[in-house]
Chains A and B, each alone.
Chain A
Amino acid sequence: MSKPLEILLLDDEVIVGKRLKPALGKIGCAVEVFQDSALAIKRMQEKEFDIVVTDIYMDGVDGMQVLDLVRKKSPRTKIIMITGHAMISLAREAMEKGAFDFIAKPFKPDDLKAVIARAAKALGAPIQFDDKKVGG
């Protein structure tokens, strides 16, 4: 493993970041966790992340706006949307706007890991993750 994958995780649910940060750390990701989208956007202005994982419905700037911003600012960044309001229309809209993938809550840490592994592969920086138990 060379340089760790830089991931920004944005979800207004505190527990999501609290649990996923160590989980993703274990597969070689450097995770920055945010609950406030404004702060996350500010951070993204300073630093380019490899992957942005964002919730969709939040107070203030929501996930779709974050998606637009990131797409504009750094096209190579992969964006993974997570939401409890999993609706086909919403997923389609996100994918059309250029999201890398769309994960419906509730999900297992491994589900996200698998998507991140695919994203890393797409970025040309594959990570070690055995997603056999996830596939399908």
Chain B
Amino acid sequence: MPGPHPPISKIKKDDNGSRQAGQFDHGSHLSKDGKTFFFFRHFSIRDQIYLGTILVFFFALVMILILILNNNRVQKQMKFLGFVNDFSLEIQQARRYEKNYFLYGTNLDDALENIHMAESIFIKESEEFSKLLGGKQALQKIPDKILAYKTLLEQLYLLETKGKNRLSIKSFSKEDELKLRGFGRDILTSAQLMAAFEKANLEKTLFRFQYIYVYSFLILLVFLAINSYLLVIRLYSTFKQITIHAKRVSSGDFRPIILRQKVRDEFTGLLTSINDMLKKLDLRDAVMIQDHKIKAVGTLTAGVAHEINNPLNNIMLTVHMLLEDYNDLSKEEKIEMLGDIAAETDRSKKIIRNLLDFARESASTMESVDLSILLKDTLRLLESQIRLSGVQVDLRCAKKIPKIHGDAQKLQQVFINLLLNAMDASIKGDKIQVTGSLGDKANSVKVSVADHGEGIPKDLLPFVFDPFFTTKSKGKGTGLGLSVSQGIIAKHGGNITVESREGRGACFTLSFPIINFPENSIFSS
């Protein structure tokens, strides 16, 4: 096959005309269907799953990136916090030594060393420090203060190395000492401020971690839930539709499935295959209906062959008597006898024509059908069988049954089938009631065939429409009659039901929808 869906015209050609007997309009449905398949976008279930997975993957990637960046930041902040800590420790140490110097005259060189260390730390991390202290101004301030502090210490150190007693250092005034201590305090305060600020920052970053975790998890959960929901809805609704169609198919309606699909997906392929299968089933069904009809024709032919013996006998007797007594008969008598012959030939013709009308293999033609006329014709066709079985068939039709749209020959096949079954179930003298009436809701026509035979056991009722199910003796029934009938009725959009009570008989009821056609009135005149 070239594509997923073979062109309709081709199928019709393969299927040589005569086989169309059981065919109901398949083509238009399918071509519409086919177009739908071709024109709609392709978005398969697999695509949806892939797309969902890719989106989840990218989302996870972004999440990981954000977390890594945040992590880096924490690391940096912790490292910097370490530096700030070192810096303030150095400053604190320097101040302690400097204090010692003023109290005991020792440790001046240690203080100098500490302040050098602090300065080097600050220079190394100046960029970071500048951020923390609110721009260049602050950055300028700290090194200035460090420089001032260092300079004062160095001056002290110079005086010291010149061998002078700290008490004798008069040039280093009390004022300078206070200045020195002030600078030290300022630097320390700034360092502590920095540490506090950075600690707060770190806490903020850690808190952000928590946020990212919770929100990304929630978003992921919501996304997965939505995706799953959409996927389930899509699968569920399609499966539901297919299930409904499958039920329809099992009742013998082989019209193709048309799903309300917006996109092409895996189901499109499945549907194409199912519809292909349905088309083949429909063909096979048509063959089965035809086969079954041939069998029914066989049964009827035997009856008709016998039935025709009656008029034939009348003709034969009349002709022989005419030959024998020709000269003795009056003109009126001869005319009467010839009239009888004419009437009996006409009767023979009608008997045969009824059968031929039914037996003729004709293309399925859906037309306006008057069920009351069709039922009468059917009973005439079955006259011989009815006479043979010794049952009485009572036909009652409501006066004005709306016409239905259907295939008269196939419907007759159903009636024949039901009547032959009813006759089989009946014994001599039983009555079979055939009723034609308007349905309960007045939008349908009902035909029922009720017998007063043995009835169908309750446990067998669900199976009577199954193909090859029969209670008749071997060789008598094929078990296809009701199955074929159900198929035919389903194709008319109708349904067939059975009611039965054991020992009381069975009643099969057919229901057909009334379809309005604007061109002609549906009511029989």
Q: 0/1 per residue, A1-35, Cβ < 8 Å to B?
A: 00000000000010110111011000000000000
Q: Are A105 and B324 touching (Cβ within 8 A)?
A: no
Q: Are A109 and B320 touching (Cβ within 8 A)?
A: yes
Nearest CB to that of A55 among chain B residues?
B310
Q: Which of B331-384 contact A (CB under 8 A)?
A: 337, 340, 344, 384
Q: Are B320 and A106 touching (Cβ within 8 A)?
A: no
* Closest CB in chain B relative to A31 CB, distance in Å: 14
Decide if A126 is an interface residue (CB 8 Å cutoff).
no
Cβ-defined partner of B310 (8 Å) among A18, A23, A62, A84: A84
Q: 0/1 per residue, B388-429, Cβ < 8 Å to A?
A: 101000000000000000000000000000000000000000
Q: Are A13 and B390 touching (Cβ within 8 A)?
A: no
Decide if B136 is an interface residue (CB 8 Å cutoff).
no
Q: 0/1 per residue, B312-344, Cβ < 8 Å to A?
A: 111111101100110000000000010010001
- Which chain A residues lie closer than 8 Å to B321 at the CB level? 19, 22-23, 109
* Closest CB in chain A relative to B143 CB, distance in Å: 133
* Closest CB in chain A relative to B347 CB, distance in Å: 10
Total interface residues on A, CB under 8 Å, equals 20
Decide if B387 is an interface residue (CB 8 Å cutoff).
yes
Cβ-defined partner of A86 (8 Å) among B306, B315, B324, B384: B306
* Closest CB in chain B relative to A56 CB, distance in Å: 10
Q: Are A15 and B309 touching (Cβ within 8 A)?
A: no
Q: Are B307 and A16 touching (Cβ within 8 A)?
A: no
Say whether, besides A15-B314, A16-B317, A57-B387, A109 and B307 are in contact (CB < 8 Å). Answer: no
Q: Are A86 and B309 touching (Cβ within 8 A)?
A: yes
- Which chain A residues lie closer than 8 Å to B320 at the CB level? 108-110
Q: Are B388 and A106 touching (Cβ within 8 A)?
A: no
Q: Are B324 and A109 touching (Cβ within 8 A)?
A: yes
Q: Are B388 and A16 touching (Cβ within 8 A)?
A: no
Q: How far is the CA of A86 from the CA of B314 in the complex (A)?
A: 16
Q: Is the interface of B mostly helix, strand, loop or mixed?
A: helix
Q: How far is the CA of A108 from the CA of B379 in the complex (A)?
A: 31
- Which chain B residues lie closer than 8 Å to A13 at the CB level? 310, 313-314
- Which chain A residues lie closer than 8 Å to B313 at the CB level? 13, 16, 84, 105-107
Q: How far is the CA of A18 from the CA of B317 in the complex (A)?
A: 10
Decide if A38 is an interface residue (CB 8 Å cutoff).
no
* Closest CB in chain A relative to B324 CB, distance in Å: 7
Q: Are A15 and B387 touching (Cβ within 8 A)?
A: no
- Which chain B residues lie closer than 8 Å to A84 at the CB level? 306-310, 312-313
Q: Which of A47-75 contact B (CB under 8 A)?
A: 57, 62
Q: 0/1 per residue, A93-120, Cβ < 8 Å to B?
A: 0000000000011111110000000000
Q: Are B388 and A19 touching (Cβ within 8 A)?
A: no
- Which chain B residues lie closer than 8 Å to A18 at the CB level? 340
- Which chain B residues lie closer than 8 Å to A107 at the CB level? 313, 316-317
* Closest CB in chain A relative to B316 CB, distance in Å: 4
Say whether, besides A20-B317, A23-B321, A57 and B388 are in contact (CB < 8 Å). Answer: yes
Q: Are B340 and A108 touching (Cβ within 8 A)?
A: no
Q: Are A104 and B317 touching (Cβ within 8 A)?
A: no
Cβ-defined partner of B318 (8 Å) among A15, A57, A104, A110: A15
- Enumerate 26 A-B pairs (CB-CB under 8 Å) in ascending A order: A13-B310, A15-B318, A15-B344, A19-B314, A19-B317, A19-B321, A20-B317, A22-B325, A23-B324, A57-B388, A57-B390, A62-B390, A84-B306, A85-B306, A85-B309, A85-B388, A86-B309, A105-B310, A106-B309, A106-B316, A107-B316, A107-B317, A109-B320, A109-B321, A109-B324, A110-B320
Q: Give the 9 A-B residue pairs with the shortest CB-CB distance, closest first.
A: A84-B309, A105-B313, A106-B313, A15-B314, A85-B306, A19-B317, A106-B316, A105-B309, A106-B312
